[in-house]
Structure 1
Amino acid sequence: MLTGLWAAFALRVYRLGAQNVWWDEGFTIWLARQPFLEMTLGTARDTHPPLYYWLLWPWIRGVGDGEFPARFLSAAIGVLTVAIAGATGRRIGGPWVGLLALWILAISRFHIWWSQEIRMYALAALGVALSTDLAIRVQRAPYSIGRWLSWALAAAVMIFSLYLTVFIWIFQSLVWLLALPRRAWPRMALAQAIVVIPFAVWLAFALPQMATWSAAAPPPSFSAVLYLGTVLWTTGVSIHLERFIAPALLVLCGMMPGLAAQARSIWKSPDRRDRFAPWILLVGGWILQPGIIWWITQPRSFLYTPRLEARYFIPSLPLFVLLLAWSIGAVFAVRRLRPLAGLLLLGFASLSIAVLPEYYTSRHWRADPVLESYLIHVYARPGDGVVLVSGDRFPEFSYYYEQNPRSDGRPPVYTVPRLAVPVRSDTVEAELRDIVARHSRIWLARVESHLQDPEGWVQRWLDGHLYRVLQFPFGHNALILYATSPQVPEIPLENLDSLKWFHRLNDPQGILLGYDQIGRSFRPGEIIRVGLYVRSGLPAPITAEWIREPGQVLAREDLPPLAGSGVLRYSVELPIHPYMPSGDYALRVRMGERLLAVIRGVRVEQTLSPPALAEIAHPMSARLGDRIRFLGYRLQGTRGGTPPTAMPGDTLLLDLYWEAETHVERSYVVFTHLIGETFNPATGNPVWAQDDQVPLEGAYPTTHWIPGQPLRDRYELHLPEETPPGMYTLEIGMYLLETGERLPVSGEGADPVARRLILTPIRVLPGR
């Protein structure tokens, strides 16, 4: 038991802080940061009861609201739930069933997932597990007032955590009406009053304040609810369910003999009324959940109508785990069925363990959401204001923005729009005029701004009324500083002492004051960004070199002089592309021959290894321009033969293998065309299938290719259903997007006039 609890604890704290706070978590923290009464009033308008917020409020004030400490509350609740599941299993089936229940829940990816979220679902699962355990104990000692009071407390925890669990409380109460002697009803009435009265008071207060709205999604069918629940209970996986539906169904089918054996044994028992109650509490509570989830996701004209989400299945997970453990124990008790019990246990354990690495790998902390709010504090001055255009994403921005302490206070944040959604040309001035009048400088923080300002009216208005003096792009998000004069702002020296991520350096000449570097691990598609803090008027240019430890220089940049005076900040960036070597990286900063600093502590991970030349099914030797080699291709999706054949409706998967001989200075688009003998009326030319893109779907432009390192680049060509039969030619090449000019080609398959490489003919057969 103790080993299982330690395992449960380890699995729930592993990589606990290794993921950014997402919207729901950000909203939870934002609400818990409010004064207690204000927070409680806010929960009355929310879609969840207040208990988790009441627990989180003192918790974050005692241990902090960083990702790890804030989530630790849920992790601790999760471990307690595992312990209760073990105790309940022992109560209903003996020591081995208790041990099984504990370990099954301990390694459950689904439970680990929601034990690592700053949300109330782990607490709701605890309430269900505890109230079920105490309901079983009450049924065995119906005259014990202590057990009734304990159950009332557990039921209150359950329904004050998640409204959805009200139905489990109702079901438990109905089971008691059937299973308990009438002499126990007064005690039951007292316990119910302890639960009902405060909950009714809360509902009377909260219901009038709750809005009626519906999540934008078509209502799910009941079969879709069952499909999702089946995979979630067994694997905890919520996407690409088709991968796991077969083993999940096998687990559920494997449970049935054990549940049937238990029911048969109970029915034949002389005290079947007493023994039947635990079985009904577990089976009924578990089966009830999908029906309730389906019902609450159907359209209605009052309160909140949610879309189908994985989290709504969490309350029933302890019930499923107990039934699975009990079923395995029941099957194992029958000698001839012991192999089935062993197979079921081994299969479920293997499945649970197999899906854990993918879950932990998916947890990743990105630096950009933190850096966007941090940079405001780097440059902030009294009189600044922040205009946040983020739709409903403000909790994510607020979470990191408010983590940066400042002695003189943070610039106030104004969420826009306030008057009309989305922002319109005729409302933008009314949105911004008063804000701009109150502040000498305006920060525009665009965070998913397309949700409520898709036309960019806020930025257009600010561009027309103020000078844009700083700009920091973060993909489709951005941070822009506007001021009344075009002068480049310096960094106030007093800001440096309060910056969370600033590292001061001891440079005797006072040239490089320090740096900021947010994040430790980076993956393809991200950018390592290091800020160098220098004094203006540098005696010589600064050179920044990105080094893959122990000494491989991958990129070098001479930093241009910055306009302005005082303390300035260079941003040195390294984009992470799919084929960048994994490992530890460092930034070496020099001024001439003088080494200023070596900044370590950055790791690149989950990149691709270069393909082996042996995997190229059709090697070729050709060149595009004077810097790019074409090594060959692999074609999948054809139907064999010489030449290969295909049919209308087929999708051809084409892997191209490239290698840069030296650094490529321009970014080229790869074209892949299937050319027919007749014109395609849909395209107005002989192209019947094509896929043109920057390599690796835009993730690896030619300007980032590492000389001498091969790469694999996939394209998909879909043949329309109306493709006529005949001979076709598969051609490839590269061109500049700006001009459409193709790169010259030479070598195998080269057509120098058309500047294309011909790979193979393909015969398209008549359609079905």
Structure 2
Amino acid sequence: MGANRGAGGGGIPIVGHGVAQMKRSGWTALDLTLLGLAFGLRVYRLGAASLWYDEAFSVDLARHQIWQPVDAHPPLFYLTLRLWMALAGPSEFAVRFLSVMAGMLTVALFAATAMRIGRSLMARTVALGVAATLPFWVWESREARMYAALGFWAALGLYGMACDSPRLTLFAALAGSYTHYAMLWMVPGILFLGLRRGPSRIPWAVVLLAGAIPGALHALWVGRTQGAFWPGTLDLGRILMVLYQAQGLQARMAGFIPPAGFPWIPGLIAGAGVAGIGLIAGLRRRAARSLFLAFGLLPLAVGLGLLYRSPKFHPHYFMGASIGFWLPTAIGWADGFRRARSAFLPALIAWGVFVLPALSWTLGRAEQVKDDWRSAVRMVEARKGPEEAVVLVSGFALPAYRVYARTTTPIPLPADPVADVRHVLDYETVIPVLNRTLTGTQGAWLMQWGDEINDPAQVVAAALDWIGDEIEAFAFTGGIRVRHFVWREFRPLPEEPEALFDHTGQPIGPNLIWLGYGLPGGTLPTDRPLPVIAGWQTMGPLPAGVRVSLRLEREDGTLWGQWDGALGGETWDTARWPWPRIVLARYTVEAQVGTPPGRYRPRLVVYRGDQVWLAAQLNPVDLVSPQRPYRDPRWEEPPRARWPGLSLTHVDLEGEPRACQPLTLALWWRVDGHPASNQVSLRIGEVRITEPWNPAQPDRAWGPGERWRTRHRLLMPCAPGRYALEVALGEGEDPSRGWQSVITVEVRP
């Protein structure tokens, strides 16, 4: 019996060990599933979207300019990318896959660190779920930039701290410092935790500081490049909100309003709630609290302090610091789930509300948030004629163009390797380059991106418009615009811009002279913007806030289009204009939807506050029918009134009806056949008018398929009350064209 008891007693641990093995196998299967999910989210449609500017810059730098001081970041990532492209090629998928690998290593290290500190398989699994699906980390792992690598080095350093391995932490800190200067923000935390463990760590601290010195010296280049951005300081409150938004959206979308119907507010609220609960619970552990302070709060404080005097900011600078925030959060969730398993489902739902909308949006159509250089460059190269040139504004976008170019080399304006807001193009710098490079050509393709930095007044577009005619324009994702100009024979522009205008110059305000303007010749479709080129001369410093209004008016004064903006573009305030200097600016105004053809007079108004500096009526322009049919939901509404071949679908009151005061009415017409008359009558009370559909072309008949909007000025009755607005074809006497009530107008005193 003793033997039997011994055998039975020996069997109990074996059975218990088997159950433990089964549980451990279950956790392992779940962990592998989460790793597979992480990999799938990072490679799904990885090569579908074009490389955006920063990615293309990385590829171009890795190919050509690693050792040139062009970029603010250290060279380790670019060296690695160069070696990787030699093996895998330069395709979009290949160059981004390097970040996928770094991101997957980050996921694994994050989970291993959580298990080390949380001392449970639950902590590892929860950490895997967080790292696999957090939109911020997923997005950075899908870009050919160094931020996924920055996260990897930070995660490796944090893991080294958790394992009490100073060598591993030292290696990660040094490698990270040569990947991105933001890793230097984590060095104080590493020193803080290391020196707390005794004087034996002092040699490691000395090695870390000595090794980081070259990286810190390289960061001096950052100070030089930061001068290329607008002056200012960070709004710390807004920056902290953007940092959080980036976790639940994706980094490039943080700080901006997502598309309509995107449930971002509920997601951010749910994420904030569940993350806050997890963080509070996780900080109960001393180890998690130490890593949170050293790898989360301290790098955040150091980074924001160093960046405070520069408005250039992006959430991905804090990719490493975000690991220090999410680690105690994941550990806190794991501790909570072990104590209260019923909390798992509500937490999972809240996390899903937080991450699923952003993941579905960004992974579903990643190209909608990336600059589509691939399509833009390939379209230009496919359509460009042999006697045409390509002009690129701003010139610092040359790397993005060059990545996809096969047969063309653009003319960069200005020829700066990086963006510099201090280099604003003007007539004197642009015209010599265009005269030299466009000689012998018959056209040019103007590609604009980042022009708000270097060409806010649209000097290059104005010059090309003066040389020839703009015949077509295209827009691509990411703010890339392509415009095609043609001319029969290139005529050099005069070196002195005064020669462009048959005008002696008119002083209009303190230290500002209006030199004149230019309009396109011939006719212009109503659905194409009307460009106006204006010349300005500064004689001294200008006050801030001088603005311009370009209006499109009928001969009777009716307004059919208006554009208002800064005199030199929103990013080039008049207080920054140099003097004495001549500025050539290009403004455009679009006619309202439904504008009928005819003769219109543009009006140019310059003002500052309530002070009008200039109100000039320009030469008339002739607008013709649109190139494409007008589209607006107001034409698709059920008709308010109907006549043979004609439907009145909508009525707008442009103002408030007041007794004895005129009111402008806008009528939306849908033409289905051949209306019996080209005149319309309106009546309200005893007041009645009869006018042509289009006073500018009174004899023109409307045809099937047309969509028009007419505007009529009608005097309101002098007795306040409710009146029916009635409309009739022709002069309203023929019963077949009888009056029909369309809306009720309430006339106020």
Pairwise CA distance, 1:421: 4.5
- Distance across 2 between alignment mates of 1:259 and 1:679: 72
**In structure 1, distance between residues paired with 2:218 and 2:316:** 26
The CA deviation string for residues 337-381 of structure 1, in whole angstroms up to 9 with x for no partner, is 444455334422442224321222342269974454335544779
**Secondary structure, aligned partner of 2:308:** coil
- Cα distance in structure 1, aligned partners of 2:410 and 2:329: 51
Question: 1:407 aligns to what?
Answer: none
Change (3 A) 1:456 1:323: closer
Q: What is the CA-CA distance between 1:52 and the residue it aligns to?
A: 1.5
Residue in structure 2 matched with residue 351 of structure 1 by the alignment: 354
Cα 1:624–1:3 change in 2 (3 A) is farther
1:252 paired with 2:275, answer: yes
1:641-674 Cα distance to aligned partner (Å, 9 max, x none): xxxxxxxxxxxxxxx7xxxxxxxxxxxxx85535
- 1:39 maps onto 2:42 in alignment: no
Percent sequence identity is 21
SS of aligned partner of 2:321: helix
Unaligned segments of structure 1, at least 5 residues: 139-146, 264-275, 300-304, 405-409, 487-524, 526-607, 631-655, 657-669, 696-701, 708-733
CA drift of 1:7 comes to: 0.8
| C-alpha distance 440-622 of structure 1, shift in aligned 2 (>3 A) | closer
1:385-400 aligned at under 5 Å gives the runs: 386-390=390-394, 392-400=396-404
Structure 2 CA distance for partners of 1:307 and 1:376, relative to 1, 3 Å: closer
Query: Any conservation in 2 of the 1:128–1:165 contact (CA below 8 Å)?
Result: yes
The separation in 2 between residues aligned to 1:757 and 1:25, in whole angstroms, is 61
Which string of whole-angstrom CA distances, capped at 9 and with x for unpartnered residues, describes residues 488-514 of structure 1?
xxxxxxxxxxxxxxxxxxxxxxxxxxx
Would you say 1:108 and 2:112 are equivalent positions?
no
Q: 1:132 to 1:483 in 2, by over 3 A?
A: farther
1:573-595 per-position Cα deviation (integer Å, ceiling 9, x unaligned):
xxxxxxxxxxxxxxxxxxxxxxx
Partner of 1:373: 377
Could you tell me whether the CA contact under 8 Å between 2:657 and 2:747 is conserved in 1? no
Residue in 1 that maps onto 2:586: none
Query: 1:744, 1:463 → 2: CA distance?
Result: 32
Deviations, residues 372-414 of structure 1 (Å, cap 9, x unaligned):
433554477999754323354333333322xx2xxxxx44432
- Whole-Å Cα distance in 2 between the matches of residues 220 and 205 of structure 1? 23
Q: Is the 8 A contact 1:675 1:686 kept in 2?
A: yes
Does residue 36 of structure 2 align to residue 6 of structure 1?
Answer: yes
Q: Give the Cα–Cα distance (whole angstroms) in 2 for the partners of residues 30 and 72 of structure 1.
A: 17
1:285-434 paired onto structure 2 within 5 Å: 285-299=295-309, 305-334=310-339, 337-340=340-343, 342-364=345-367, 369-374=373-378, 377-378=381-382, 386-390=390-394, 392-401=396-405, 404=406, 410-418=407-415, 421-434=423-436
Q: Which residue of 1 aligns with 2:227?
A: 213
User: What is the 5 A alignment of 1:615-626?
Assistant: 621-623=640-642, 626=645
* Counterpart code for 1:68: F
Hey, what does 1:28 align to over in structure 2? 58
Distance 1:198 1:175, change over 3 A: closer
Identify the residue that residue 280 of structure 1 maps to in structure 2.
290
- Give the deviation of 1:15 after TM superposition: 2.2
Greater displacement, 219-228 / 149-158: 219-228
Q: 2:25 corresponds to which residue? A: none
> How far does the alpha carbon of each residue in 1:405-455 deviate from its partner, in whole angstroms, 9 at most, with x for none?
xxxxx4443212359954333443322333345x76774433238534455
- Kept in 1, the 8 Å contact 2:49–2:366? The answer is yes
Counterpart of 2:123 in structure 1 is: 97
Counterpart pick for 1:152 among 157, 167, 170: 170
Structure-2 change in CA distance of 1:482 and 1:248 (3 Å): same
Preserved CA contact (<8 Å) 1:40 1:50: yes
What residue number does 2:658 align with? 677
Assess, with a 3 A threshold, how the Cα gap between structure 1 residues 378 and 338 changes in structure 2: closer, same or farther. closer
* Change in CA separation of 1:477 and 1:196 when aligned onto 2, cut-off 3 Å: same
Say whether the 8 Å CA contact 2:73–2:219 is kept in structure 1: no
| 1:69 and 2:94 are equivalent in the alignment | yes
- Residue in 2 that maps onto 1:544: none
Q: Distance in 2 between matches of 1:28 and 1:738?
A: 56
Q: Secondary structure at the match of 2:312?
A: coil
Correspondence for 1:121 among 125, 143, 147: 147
Distance 1:621 1:363, change over 3 A: same
Number of residue-to-residue matches in the alignment: 514
Q: State the distance in 1 between where 2:408 and 2:442 align.
A: 10
Which position in structure 2 is the counterpart of 1:130?
A: 156
Listed as ranges, the gaps of 5+ residues in structure 2 are: 1-30, 258-263, 417-421, 476-480, 492-526, 528-630, 674-691, 699-707, 713-723, 733-738
Shift of 1:278: 4.6
- Which residue does the alignment assign to 2:449? 448
- Kindly state the Cα deviation for residue 17 of structure 1 after the two structures are TM-superposed: 2.2
SS at match of 2:66: helix
Question: In the TM superposition, what is the alpha-carbon distance from 1:250 to its structure 2 partner?
Answer: 1.1
Q: Which of 69, 73, 81 is the aligned partner of 1:56?
A: 81
Q: Distance in 1 between matches of 2:291 and 2:371?
A: 47
Q: Which amino acid aligns with 1:221?
A: D
Name the SS for the 2:145 alignment partner: coil
User: What's the counterpart of residue 193 of structure 2?
Assistant: 175
Where 1:676 maps in the other structure, the secondary structure is coil
- TM-superposed CA distance for 1:760, in Å, is 5.1
1:89-131 residue CA offsets vs partner (Å, 9 max, x unmatched): 1211121101110111101111111111121111111111111
Is the 2:34–2:132 contact (alpha carbons within 8 Å) kept by the matching residues of 1?
A: yes
Please say if residues 448 and 477 of structure 1, whose CA atoms lie closer than 8 Å, have aligned partners that are also in contact: no
Deviations 1:533-569 (CA, angstroms, capped at 9, x unpaired)? xxxxxxxxxxxxxxxxxxxxxxxxxxxxxxxxxxxxx
Contact 2:192 2:294 in 1 (8 A): no
Residue number in structure 2 paired with 1:200? 213
Distance 1:216 1:679, change over 3 A: farther
Q: Using structure 1 for the length normalisation, give the TM-score.
A: 0.57
Aligned to 2:163, what secondary structure does the other structure show? helix
Change (3 A) 1:322 1:372: closer
Q: How far, CA to CA, are the matches of 2:297 and 2:363 in structure 1? A: 30
CA distance in 1 between partners of 2:221 and 2:249 (Å): 39
TM-score (norm 2): 0.59
Displacement of 1:277: 4.0
Cα distance, 1:79 vs structure 2 = 1.4
In the alignment, residue 30 of structure 1 is paired with which amino acid?
D
Per-residue deviation, residues 683-729 of structure 1 (Å, max 9, x unmatched): xx546xx999x99xxxxxx89x9x9xxxxxxxxxxxxxxxxxxxxxx
Q: Give the superposed CA RMSD.
A: 4.6
Cα deviation for residue 197 of structure 1 reads 3.3
Distance 1:346 1:21 in 2: 34
User: Partners of 2:152 and 2:448 in 1: how far apart?
Assistant: 35
Specify whether residues 234 and 415 from structure 1 end up closer, same or farther in structure 2 by C-alpha distance, changes over 3 A only. closer
Q: CA deviation at 1:280?
A: 0.5
Mapped contact 2:280–2:329 kept (Cα < 8 A): no
Residue type matched to 1:71 in 2?
R
Distance 1:231-1:72 versus aligned 2 partners, 3 A rule: same
How far 1:460 moved relative to its partner?
Answer: 5.8
CA distance in 2, matches of 1:758, 1:309: 57
Letter in 2 for 1:622: A
- Residues 625, 81 of structure 1: CA spacing in aligned structure 2 closer, same or farther, 3 A cutoff? farther
- Aligned partners of 1:757, 1:80: CA distance in 2, in Å? 73
